[in-house]
Structure 1
Amino acid sequence: MASLPLPRVESLLDYTSFELTVLPYLTQLQWLPDSLREAGSDVHSLRAVYLATNPLVSAIAFSGALAGLLFIAAEINRNYSQIDRFWSILPALYNVHFALWARLSGIQTQTLDTIAVVTVVWSIRLTFNYWRKGGYSIGSEDYRWEVVRSKVNNSFVFMIFNLGFISIAQSLLLLLITTPTYIFVVAAYNQGPETFGLPDLAFSRAAFFFIIIEFFADNQQWKFQSAKKEYQTNARIPEPYKDQFSAEDLERGFVVSGLWSWSRHPNFVAEQAFWLTMYLWSCYRTETYFNWTGLGALGTVAIFQGSVRLTEAITAGKYPEYSDYQARVGRFIPRLSVKAKKTKASKKST
């Protein structure tokens, strides 16, 4: 195999070494812009630059450029959900990039192809859910940003917050959660043809399982919100939902049935578990208990902790019964000592 912009390392532990697999290639960020300008629109030249650049470095460059564009767009439009529109797309894009780069470079690996497929499925589901809630409508913005702006109440400070956290940190996080895939690229380059074993199958199927959980959780939420919206219009329970919700359920204002009777945020639980699974998969393949790519999964958990606290504070102020729901149902992990709360409709059917 021809020499590639990847390290030749000797041990499994070295595959996870940031000093050996990442640092030596960061200098490519200096000449990459000039190389792209020289290549212009010539496809063959662009392909040569693409393959001559370490795949993680090119992903970092793209992430940084995108962060700058999103920051400018947010400030011009005074809409801070720019990164939200890419949240479901970028991780899949990065993983497909890693798989494509490896294939074009002559690295054949079933693991990379599997990861790409799994994350594309994840992306399609999440993108669809975001779209049907109006996330891609012109002018749409996450309602929580208005609350955050009111608390900051200083345009300059919020601009710095937009630059540092909303644009740069979140764009970088969406790359970081896919860095375990880079370890698979390094491993495939050094090990050659691989065996996709039963443990690999188990990790990939676990990831699919969490996607399914997210699908059902989001769909249950969507049905409830759709029924509530129509009920608030004409005070009638929509025909398709009469067996699922009662007037009391819809007047309560938030869903407490199905997966939501076991966890207050089952979709977020599955989302965090999905990326933890991808990270643990890399740990298994490199026989390590921890490696630097875990920063992505850790950052995802941290950002969900913060966003959920804000969301629940807003929800509790809006719906009087939400505090009771919080007392009965765990935020993420089910409270097995407390019985799941049934809806009035479900009680009638028993």
Structure 2
Amino acid sequence: MALPVIYTLRDCSSLEKTVLPYLPQLYDLPQQLLQSYDNPTELQNIYLATNPLITALAFSLFLAPLFLVISEINKNYSQVDRMWSLLPTIYNAHYCIYAHLNGLETQRLDNMIAFSTVWSLRLTFNYWRKGGYSIGSEDYRWEVLKQKINPALFFVFNVLFISLAQSVLLFLITTPSYVILLTARLGEKMSTADTMFARALMVLVIAEWFADQQQWNYQEAKKQYQKTAKVPHKFDQEDLDRGFVVTGLWSWSRHPNFAAEQAIWVVLYQWGCWDSEVMYNWTFLGAMGYLFLFQASTWFTELITSGKYPEYAEYQKRVGKFLPKITGGSGLPGDFSDQKAKPKVEKAEKKNSGGVRR
């Protein structure tokens, strides 16, 4: 049987009942697919007869060597990044489709895939607009890292982390959807709490979009200013000279887009826990792995950024990495705006005093 026999909501979060018994299917699946690759009916039967979690895991493992080979051939190590905006939604859609094909209650999963689709569209748009930027690791980071370590060691890093670990991670962050699927097997329908979780996820996607848009507007203004020496409308020359954005959401957090992105997958994890009536379950591996990835990635990004911009160290002191600091500049918590005002005040004082500061 593809789905486990469960009797309570808590059973839906049981690793022993819902995951471990189905791992042997992972070993048999490649041979089954090879024998039936030209038979659509048989492929559908295999799909329905295989536990959906195992199907998703197998797909993530199948992608890893492809990412590795393509990255080594092209010497471009952002192959996973290019799929970052699509793979989680592919996995979520897989769970939703599986539930529909098996006649399960799908209202929760339908709401989940709606949020996931909007998330993917936002990231995909952002990726192509910025010419290859992804929410995961940017290519320049891999290039910087490649220059700092031994080529053989970097190849091992590519095998184990860039290609394999990241591919599996994108599968793991969607495993709460498997738990939600299992709760539907018990006839659980959409509740008020489910609606709140779905709306919270959508709000976080919108917040991420605003943060990215503010960054995009600033970077475009900076490019125009550097090219024409003219300050674009609604921007301050001193802001553009600084080299990095410190206004809007970026006055509260040094990485508001990353903060929202991490919160999205933590909320999805909590949604699965809530529906299965547990405080925590094994799917925390995805959310926790995502948090660890962003901690490491952000640290490396800021290491590079602080080397480019002298004022970034002061920005780090005054504004929290992800969450706002309780105390900071004037106005908003962690506001950096008073740093912009200081030179103007000093210039005014010099002018009023004949160039001599009092």
TM-score normalized by the length of structure 1? 0.92
Query: What residue in structure 2 maps to residue 275 of structure 1?
Result: 265
Query: What residue in structure 2 maps to residue 159 of structure 1?
Result: 155
Q: Which of the numbers 206, 216, 222 marks the counterpart of 1:212? A: 206
| Aligned 1:335-346 pairs, distance under 5 A | 335-339=325-329, 340-342=335-337
Query: What residue in structure 1 maps to residue 179 of structure 2?
Result: 183
Alpha-carbon shift at residue 255 of structure 1 (Å): 0.3
8 Å Cα contact 2:105-2:189 kept in structure 1:
no
Provide Cα deviations, 1:230-254, integer angstroms capped at 9, x if missing partner: 111121123xxx11x1111111100
Counterparts in 2 of 1:303 and 1:141: CA distance versus 1, 3 Å:
closer
Structure 2 counterpart of 1:224, one-letter code: Y
Identify which range, 194-203 or 274-283, moves more after superposition: 194-203
Provide Cα deviations, 1:274-319, integer angstroms capped at 9, x if missing partner: 1111000111111111100011001111100000000001000000
Query: What residue in structure 1 maps to residue 74 of structure 2?
Result: 77
Query: What residue in structure 1 maps to residue 294 of structure 2?
Result: 304
Query: What residue in structure 2 maps to residue 171 of structure 1?
Result: 167
Query: What residue in structure 1 maps to residue 230 of structure 2?
Result: 236
CA distance in 1, matches of 2:56, 2:79: 19
Question: Alpha carbon RMSD of aligned pairs, Å?
Answer: 1.8
Query: What residue in structure 2 maps to residue 224 of structure 1?
Result: 218
Instruction: Verify: 1:327 aligned to 2:317, yes or no.
Output: yes
Alpha-carbon shift at residue 19 of structure 1 (Å): 1.5
How many residues were matched structurally? 335
Instruction: Verify: 1:313 aligned to 2:308, yes or no.
Output: no
Alpha-carbon shift at residue 185 of structure 1 (Å): 1.3
Instruction: Verify: 1:13 aligned to 2:10, yes or no.
Output: yes
Structure 1 counterpart of 2:175, one-letter code: T
Structure 2 counterpart of 1:205, one-letter code: R
CA distance in 2, matches of 1:264, 1:117: 29
Alpha-carbon shift at residue 41 of structure 1 (Å): 2.7
Structure 2 counterpart of 1:161, one-letter code: F
Structure 2 counterpart of 1:69, one-letter code: L
| Aligned 1:43-192 pairs, distance under 5 A | 43-135=40-132, 142-152=139-149, 154-189=150-185, 191-192=186-187
Query: What residue in structure 2 maps to residue 266 of structure 1?
Result: 256
CA distance in 1, matches of 2:193, 2:138: 41
Question: Which consecutive residues of structure 2, in runs of 5 or more, have no partner in the other structure?
Answer: 330-334, 345-358
Identical-pair percentage: 54
Partner SS for 1:66: helix
Partner SS for 2:337: coil
Alpha-carbon shift at residue 136 of structure 1 (Å): 7.6
Structure 1 runs of 4+ aligned residues shifted over 3 Å read none
Identify which range, 52-61 or 228-237, moves more after superposition: 228-237
Q: Which of the numbers 12, 19, 22 marks the counterpart of 1:22? A: 19
Larger radius of gyration: 2
CA distance in 1, matches of 2:148, 2:196: 45
Provide Cα deviations, 1:173-206, integer angstroms capped at 9, x if missing partner: 00000000001111212x12x2211111111111
Structure 1 counterpart of 2:153, one-letter code: V
CA distance in 2, matches of 1:70, 1:40: 22
CA distance in 2, matches of 1:145, 1:130: 17
Partner SS for 2:78: coil
